[in-house]
Chain A
Amino acid sequence: DIQMTQSPSSLSASVGDRVTITCRASQSVSNFLHWYQQKPGKAPNLLIYAASNLQSGVPSRFNGSGSGTDFTLTISSLQPEDFATYFCQQSSNTPRTFGQGTKVEIK
């Protein structure tokens, strides 16, 4: 199985901060890497697909980049509604696997 490792596991940030989350795959997943946001008690919500494509309806402050094994999710200016847990997921190999999540908390 491809292991997906996110860093950091959690971070504290203030409204307006620039936040960067990284995701590393144990082997190349090309650009078959997606990012989700999950709020407490809710299902995950797709933010970015194929490494860098913004899902319809997602604010443009979210940006994804990377290919191969190293990927980044950046929130350019953190908003109150962005405090949540973020997951990466690869769809290159079976079984599909997720990162362990990065919890973004209010500083």
Chain B
Amino acid sequence: EVRLVQSGAEVKKPGESLKISCKASGYSFSFYWIAWLRQTPGKGLEWMGIIYPGDSETRYSPSFQGQVTFSADKSSGTAYLQWSSLQASDTAMYYCARQYCSTGICYNPFDYWGQGTPVTVSS
């Protein structure tokens, strides 16, 4: 059974750093891309970008480039989303999701999702 299990809820202050995780199981972690998505009441669902655990290639949405960092650890089957300095506007629910891409072309949907990690940034 394919599963993506995300780390728990976070409450942080502006300026703090944060790293959340997404642990995959039930499939070959290195051969599927992991997408990160943000959901807020105001902006809805937003695609932040993707990472290929096989070689850690990353592709960021222009809206999130420079604001977050993706990483992956093949040995533990875990993907990470990281901020160096949080802002209140980062308050959201964050999801990881699996995506199959053929020769690096990612037309396929997000077929499995983590349960979400709520992040609250407030002074």
Residues of chain A at the chain B interface (Cβ within 8 Å): 32, 34, 36, 42-46, 49-50, 55, 87, 89, 91-92, 94-101
Contacts and interface: CB of A to CB of B under 8 A. Distances in A.
Main secondary structure of the interface of A (DSSP, over half): loop
A98 B45 contact: yes
B109 A101 contact: no
Contacts of B111: 46, 49, 55
- Among the interface residues B46, B110, B113, which one has the most CB atoms of the partner chain A within 10 A? B110
Contacts of B47: 95-98
Nearest to A41: B116
Contacts of A32: 107
A91 B116 contact: no
A46 B107 contact: no
Interface residues of B, number: 21
Interface stretch (B11-19, B56-64, B67-75, B76-84): B56-64
Nearest to B115: A43
B88 interface: no
B103 interface: no
B53 interface: no
A63 to B, nearest CB: 16
B109 A89 contact: yes
A94 B109 contact: no
A101 B39 CA distance: 12
B106 A91 contact: yes
A59 B26 CA distance: 24
Contacts of A36: 109-110
B44 interface: yes
List 10 tightest A-B contacts by C-beta distance, closest first: A34-B109, A43-B113, A96-B47, A95-B61, A98-B45, A49-B109, A32-B107, A91-B107, A95-B47, A100-B44
A49 B100 CA distance: 12
